[in-house]
Structure 1
Amino acid sequence: MQYVEGYENLVELVEADDQEGLKAALNAMPSADVAEYIDEHFEVYNTLTLLDLMEAEQQAEVFGYLRPAHQQEVASHMEISVLAKLFVDMSSDERADVYSLLDVKLQDALMRRLARSEREDLLRLSSYEEGTIGAVMTSDYATIPVGANVELALKKLRQSAPEKESIYQAYVIDGKHKLMGVVSLRQLLTAAPSEMIDDLMTRDVVTVSPDMPQSEAARIISRYDLIAIPAVTEDNLLVGMVTFDDAMDVVEEEDTETMHKSASVGSLDMSLTEAGPITLYKKRINWLVLLVFVNIFSGAAITYYEDTIMAYASLLFFLPLLIASGGNSGSQTATLVIRAIATGDIGRGDGVKLFAKEILVSGLLGLSMSAAVMAVAYFRAPDIMLVVGISMFAIVMIGSLTGLLLPFLLKLVGWDPATASTPLVTTIADAVGVMVYFITATIVLGLAIG
């Protein structure tokens, strides 16, 4: 992290109780950097000291950037009057996030300090389920009454701008707060003062529902290249707005969750540095134990075909190579399919086409890898060259098709396709691959089983 030249380390300034130096350093640093530094270096007491030295706007921004666990701890040590003032200065969506972290007693005390409009807004935003658009949207959007002219609209925006998260576009609403259209700041600045908003606004507005998954907002904002998107009810009442930066936060959160699942790790609600050993253990142990029992099938298959192995010990040399190839090809396919499902790239009618394409691709991969392993077998163990060639082709095909079908099967039963992770696909491909290899060897070499 880079700091403005001439300022000492914040830790040294805190230890020296240099309040003037701290104020100067804090003012010179972006709020996001201040929050990151506080998270890494300071406990509650020093965090409260630093927040107290900031102007109200910076204080609200820095507190909003702190890690949730740190926010919760700091808020619980604040005087209720200070916390209430901080809440008023925060953006509505961040305010709702912090409110959900507080215990019931502190929530009640805080509510008594807020104005009625702020209480109602806070309760409404915090009532939406986690993972929905309502949980990430803000109520700090700019509105213009239908029937106004440009002069009145600009006057209203100037008055409300300090309290709004974005004024690059304003939503046109009627007396019942129904969304009628949207107009950009550029349109307002280039139009004549007497021109009517009704003639300028775009009536066909892309909207989302607050009950939709939050990933949908990110996908729609990206698809239509939007700065923000309004959230409306079934009656078209405007209830919130999702901004581009909030959508990017959602994308980061979703990608992190997908990566955790792809490694068979339970979803973490905190950063890796915050998570304790027991938490990490609990998140990882379930899948690992399950996969151990799945791998028993591989061991059972090897035991069942021990006579085949004793007759041709060279079969063991190629076993890890063949099994790894099946797992790798399956993992590649699963990664591509899971990502395509997540981005909406795969439609309802694409299944047959995708299956046919994967048959062709995995067949070509199988032939190529079969040729490569047969070349190795020619010099190492020519008597089993045909066995390893046929097995490689079959194992790569099976692994690839497992990686293709498993995400769709999980989605069909209501599970997250990301659960079709690398360890799961690899374990299934391993178990099936061992059986395919030794069945092929037994048949081709004309050996009796058992």
Structure 2
Amino acid sequence: MNEIELAPDLLSVVVARTLAEEHVADIVETLNEQDSATIAHILQELPFERAVEVLDQPELADAAEALALLPEDRAGAFLTAMSADRAADVFQDFDDETRQRLSARLDRQTRTDLGKLLAYPEHSAGSIMTTEFVSVPSTWTVQQTLDYIRRVERSRETVYAIYVLDPATKKLVRAVSLRRLISGDPAAPVESVVPAHKPITVTPEVDREDVARLITKYDLLSVPVVDAEDRIIGIVTFDDVIDAMIAETTEDVQKLGGMEALDEPYNEIGFLAMIRKRAGWLSILLLGEMLTASAMQFFQTELEKAIVLTLFIPLIMSSGGNSGSQATSLIIRALALREITLKDWWRVILRELPSGLVLGSILGAIGIVRIALWQWLGFYDYGPHWMLIAATVGGALIGIVTFGSMMGSMLPFLLKRAGFDPASASAPLVATLVDVTGLVIYFGVAALILSGTLL
């Protein structure tokens, strides 16, 4: 994207002055309703620090496009002033030409920080950490530390904690909360107000979901990221984790719906891109459903002899798919939260097998009662062998719901073992697989019970 000439715009000046008095979240919401050029005009007219505060919000959808339209010196100043992790996210959204053009406008430290952050894997702690934190040597006093915080506060994204380093090796030795520091004796060494336990740390390669679990487990506001020699290289704050988890959850939900995850907001993704994201999985599911047609063709003779069996095919197929989808959703969530691991597959089998039998028995009983009521009340005549038909439907539901529960619970394990995202075991995929086997179970039970009567 090429830089454009942003001439003074009276409307943008008025809007910028009005927005400057609003909460930053409201400013972002307003800007997200504008096009990139309008956002660029308003950002240029906002007070510099206010504009940086707006650009630091992950919710600002077109930040990269707007910055690319600004004069290079202005865009470079914004990127330099932004928090390092947010600047890295925006920088990643630039095209190659814009990235090279604006990189020359950054100071050496900012370029170095961005290069390090962009080098980490996408879903790692390193990719969402910020390099703006407060660290002091263990030889300092509480007063020295507080004075230092006052001097550097504006250049740090957050000051949830102060990290105490070994003055010789620069290794992280302790972490102290700002609250505890303020309440300490100003003349006392900073180590005197530091908790006795070692700080909770992660390495930059750790998955961001694991970071979220640590923050939840230990009730933290931030987690330091350390290298192989225990030197702190950044911190992951709870708000960055929340943003990352929202993105992760959105991706998982979309996959569970039977489609590729969208990499843009729904209202902004192009029509052809939306088709590509959805058509692939729909085609795969269609091919799977073709197996259902093949199964029905295989049992064509049985269907011709007992046409009444076709009345219950939708009921049978949907029940199996529903039970499988339930089990899949439970297991995917349990795997994501680390409530279970791959080695617990046999525990899941021992739990899902009786669950499937009980659930299938409940649905089977409902199916039998429904057929009996319709027969007795005269809503439909299933013929002289209606009791055998009811037994067939009831027995098939027990088998299909049990099989669906087993299939739905094991598929995420198989995908995870193969290196795929368990969320790919979407509800439509499980339902399609269970549909095919459900028909086989249904007609197998029918052949066993109805042999010599209808078959």
Shift of 1:69: 6.3
The match for 1:385 among 390, 393, 404 is 390
Q: Is the 8 A contact 1:377 1:388 kept in 2?
A: no
- Quick one: which amino acid aligns to residue 428 of structure 1? L
1:321 equivalent in structure 2: 315
The answer to which of 197-206 and 249-258 deviates more is: 197-206
2:188 equivalent in structure 1: 195
Distance 1:349 1:43 in 2: 51
1:75 equivalent in structure 2: 67
Distance 2:94 2:17 in 1: 32
Distance 2:45 2:68 in 1: 19
Please tell me whether residue 356 in structure 1 is matched to residue 350 in structure 2.
yes
The answer to which of 330-339 and 90-99 deviates more is: 90-99
1:414 equivalent in structure 2: 419
Please tell me whether residue 399 in structure 1 is matched to residue 410 in structure 2.
no
The match for 1:90 among 73, 82, 92 is 82
Q: Secondary structure at the match of 2:233?
A: strand
- Quick one: which amino acid aligns to residue 404 of structure 1? S
Distance 1:111 1:319 in 2: 63
Matches within 5 A, 1:249-398: 249-347=243-341, 350-378=344-372, 379=375, 380=380, 381=382, 382=386, 383-398=388-403
Please tell me whether residue 446 in structure 1 is matched to residue 451 in structure 2.
yes
Q: Secondary structure at the match of 2:160?
A: strand
Shift of 1:351: 2.8
Distance 1:387 1:363 in 2: 16
Distance 1:108 1:419 in 2: 36
Q: Secondary structure at the match of 1:340?
A: helix
Q: Is the 8 A contact 1:322 1:391 kept in 2?
A: yes
Shift of 1:165: 1.5
Distance 1:348 1:101 in 2: 36
1:241 equivalent in structure 2: 235
Distance 2:270 2:16 in 1: 34
Change (3 A) 1:81 1:271: same
The match for 1:60 among 52, 65, 84 is 52
- Quick one: which amino acid aligns to residue 33 of structure 1? D
Q: Is the 8 A contact 1:307 1:449 kept in 2?
A: no
Q: Is the 8 A contact 1:150 1:188 kept in 2?
A: yes
Shift of 1:148: 1.1
Change (3 A) 1:19 1:427: closer
2:222 equivalent in structure 1: 228
Change (3 A) 1:116 1:348: same
Distance 1:142 1:166 in 2: 9
Distance 1:110 1:52 in 2: 16
Please tell me whether residue 429 in structure 1 is matched to residue 429 in structure 2.
no
Shift of 1:101: 2.0
- Quick one: which amino acid aligns to residue 232 of structure 2? L
Distance 1:283 1:422 in 2: 17
* Cα offsets for 1:253-283 (capped at 9, x unmatched): 1100100110121121111111111101111
Which stretches in structure 1 are left out of the alignment for 5+ residues?
Answer: 1-15
Distance 2:298 2:136 in 1: 76
Distance 1:71 1:23 in 2: 16
1:120 equivalent in structure 2: 112
- Quick one: which amino acid aligns to residue 395 of structure 1? I
Matches within 5 A, 1:133-212: 133-175=125-167, 176-202=169-195, 203-212=197-206
Structure 2-normalised TM-score? 0.91
Q: Is the 8 A contact 1:333 1:400 kept in 2?
A: yes
2:3 equivalent in structure 1: none
Shift of 1:304: 1.4
Distance 2:12 2:208 in 1: 42
Change (3 A) 1:300 1:105: closer
- Quick one: which amino acid aligns to residue 211 of structure 1? E
- Quick one: which amino acid aligns to residue 400 of structure 2? I
* Cα offsets for 1:293-332 (capped at 9, x unmatched): 1112211111111221122111111110111000001101
Change (3 A) 1:445 1:435: same
Q: Is the 8 A contact 2:17 2:46 kept in 1?
A: no
Distance 1:219 1:30 in 2: 30
Distance 2:104 2:295 in 1: 68
Shift of 1:19: 5.9
The answer to which of 200-209 and 228-237 deviates more is: 200-209
Q: Is the 8 A contact 2:40 2:67 kept in 1?
A: no
2:4 equivalent in structure 1: none
2:31 equivalent in structure 1: 38
Change (3 A) 1:376 1:192: same
Distance 1:225 1:91 in 2: 23
Please tell me whether residue 17 in structure 1 is matched to residue 22 in structure 2.
no
Q: Secondary structure at the match of 2:79?
A: helix
Change (3 A) 1:18 1:102: closer
Shift of 1:24: 3.9
Change (3 A) 1:155 1:344: same
Q: Is the 8 A contact 1:298 1:435 kept in 2?
A: no
Which stretches in structure 2 are left out of the alignment for 5+ residues?
Answer: 1-8
Distance 1:263 1:20 in 2: 44
The answer to which of 241-250 and 305-314 deviates more is: 305-314
Distance 1:449 1:305 in 2: 14
Distance 1:100 1:406 in 2: 35
Q: Is the 8 A contact 2:292 2:439 kept in 1?
A: yes
Q: Secondary structure at the match of 1:28?
A: coil
* Cα offsets for 1:91-145 (capped at 9, x unmatched): 1111111122223343333333322222212221222221211111101111121
Distance 1:411 1:23 in 2: 49
Q: Is the 8 A contact 1:171 1:181 kept in 2?
A: yes
